[in-house]
Amino acid sequence: MTTERSFDAYQIPEEHSDIRAAVRAVCDAKVAPNATHADETGEFPTASYDALRAADFHAPHIPVEYGGAGADALATAIVIEEVARACASSSLIPAVNKLGTMPLLIAGSEDLKRRYLSPVASGEAMFSYCLSEPDAGSDAAAMSTRAERDGDHYILNGVKRWITNAGVSDYYTVFAVTDPTARSRGISAFVVEKSDPGVSFGAPEKKLGIKGSPTREVYLDNVRIPADRMIGEPGTGFATAMRTLDHTRVTIAAQAVGIAQGALDYAKGYVKERRQFGRPVADFQGIQFMLADMGMKLEAARQLTYAAAGRSERGDDDLTYFGAAAKCFASDAAMEITTDAVQLLGGYGYTRDYPLERMMRDAKITQIYEGTNQVQRIVMARQLLQG
């Protein structure tokens, strides 16, 4: 007996392939040339931002009704993947714009969405996400930043750490304690503007990788903001933060896939040109085995990432598992692939004259931020045990 089956779900739609081609063209021409400079100087890649903004790839996830491109979760992942292939620091432009604005999309009022999403969609502003603190990393519910009601305002005090694009972004989703007796159920989310009196920033962190994306502390010193800047209801901030990460871990997986793809592409070209013992090193079986393993891990990571992106778009019940799995697997794969790519270049791979040592350094952070991979395994295990 034969059964008619459709396997369209296992093929990327043509419009998504077209998006990939368009992003790659922009990145090859106008983003990749800035990657080394951003890494060496630690400067935000303004030229890359301008190029992404001109092509509407800086915040593609924002819905059309707020002036955005309205890209779905898979298209957004592909954009981030392709930018990361060229420059990991620049890929944090679309990735962190999504991270910062996702709480508004999940729980924000219509007024907040229109007020803050439109400037991000147009490229006039960027959005960052303030969850972690000096003493509250993986245990985010242990945060100490406070937001106290004062009439029709809230007054915020505290310090947020490891904030990506801090100082460059105009807007910040800030999580703060509004009821200290309720632990996670006493946390609320707010929109804070860089221009609000009392907002300041620490010195840029001296990092191993993604140096072109500034990471700084955000200081909140009696920051007085209107109560209507609360995102959702009081006490729902922690739940919004966790729902946000379910979606945005997919973007970190996409970033990891892109970094790995860039490393594999460069290594493939090198081993076909580099000659030893009278022939290209690509002819040697040991090299071929390494390339095969790199390609296999990369494609497995990509497929898991795309599967998670589909669940993100649909809001499936198993998104928490798939988001954690994609982020964990893809980032581990990226670290392995970039390390092997450095190995394939031998001594040259260890020098800054070639881009692979940068890609290896950039890959490392994908195993750490938006929840370490140890935390991702805890998340996955809990999901599995809950059925």
Active-site residue list? 370
Please compute Rg for the chain using Cα positions. 21
Please tell me the distance from the alpha carbon of residue 64 to that of residue 59, in angstroms, as a whole number: 11
- To 10 degrees, the CA torsion angle through 70, 73, 75, 80? 110
Mention every residue, 6+ apart, whose C-beta is less than 8 A from residue 13. Answer: none
Locate all alpha helices (DSSP H) within the chain, ordered by sequence: 14-30, 32-41, 46-54, 73-86, 88-107, 110-122, 237-273, 285-314, 319-344, 356-365, 373-385
What is the Cα–Cα distance from 329 to 13, expressed in whole angstroms? 24
CA–CA dist 387, 384 (Å, integer): 5
Nearest C-alpha neighbor of 84 from the set 296, 256, 328, 251: 256
121 burial level (CB within 10 Å; 0-12, 13-18, 19+): buried
